């Protein structure tokens, strides 16, 4: 199929129609001045892999880092089981491979809505009781800082959601979650 399917209002969709859709919007949410934004009930057995797109900015006077943690219902996976390897480029390319962390570092954002930090995370098998992995790519658009990370979460738990949280202050923005059709 060279183009996405074109569905008409009121059209009865069959499983064949739905199987033709490769990327499915599960949810899109807006958050305002949040110190910890929880997204629940988005990972399920319907999809194995997911794309998460984040746009955010802060009211803080300097750059704020945005972090990612898995969660199931009200239980946050906050042990030192998150591993990241990759690089970021502020004024020069810097390798990034810290010891085990309590979250994945996703991006930085600036204090201006016109210069939002933007990130794309692809997470693999978050709803399966196995180690999960992901890749992320981000840019902070004021200073044009760039980030590219490979991530692993070394716990075999099936998660249903996640948390986005700044390292300080609060963040405002949007998050969209898509499921990949296998």
The answer to the question of residue 2 being in a domain is: no
Chain centroid to Cα 27, Å, comes to 12
The answer to the question of residue 36 being in a domain is: yes
Domain that holds residue 115: 22-180
The answer to the question of residue 86 being in a domain is: yes
Closest CA to 147 of 32, 54, 49, 48: 54
DSSP codes of every residue in 72-95: ETTEE--SS-EEEEEEEESSSEEE
The answer to the question of residue 61 being in a domain is: yes
**CATH number of the domain residue 80 falls in:** 2.60.120
Instruction: Supply φ then ψ for residue 15, to 5 degrees.
Output: -65, -30
The answer to the question of residue 28 being in a domain is: yes
The answer to the question of residue 153 being in a domain is: yes
The answer to the question of residue 76 being in a domain is: yes
Tokens of 90: 């502020």
Q: How many domains does the chain have?
A: 1
The answer to the question of residue 49 being in a domain is: yes
Q: What is the mean pLDDT of residues 84-91?
A: 90
Q: Is the pLDDT of residue 162 over 70?
A: yes
Q: Over the stretch 109-146, which tens digit does the pLDDT of each residue have?
A: 888 778 888 999 999 999 999 999 999 999 988 888 89
41 vs 9, higher pLDDT? 41
Tokens 């996405």 correspond to: 4
């Amino acid at each position: 199929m060279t183009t996405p399917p074109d569905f008409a209002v009121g059209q009865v969709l069959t499983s064949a129609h739905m199987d033709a859709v490769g990327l499915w919007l599960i949810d899109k949410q807006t958050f305002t001045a949040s110190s910890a934004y929880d997204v629940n009930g988005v990972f399920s057995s319907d999809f194995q892999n997911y794309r998460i797109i984040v746009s955010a900015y802060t009211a803080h006077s300097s750059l704020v880092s945005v972090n990612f943690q898995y969660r199931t219902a009200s239980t946050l996976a906050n042990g030192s089981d998150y591993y990241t390897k990759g690089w970021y480029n502020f004024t020069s390319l810097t390798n990034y491979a810290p010891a085990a962390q309590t979250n994945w570092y996703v991006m930085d954002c600036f204090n201006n809505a016109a210069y939002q930090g933007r990130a794309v995370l692809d997470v693999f098998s978050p709803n399966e009781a196995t180690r999960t992995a992901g890749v992320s790519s981000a840019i902070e658009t004021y200073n044009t800082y760039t980030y590219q990370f490979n991530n692993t979460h070394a716990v075999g738990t099936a998660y249903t959601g996640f948390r986005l949280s700044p390292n300080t202050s609060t963040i405002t923005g949007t998050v969209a979650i898509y499921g990949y059709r296998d």
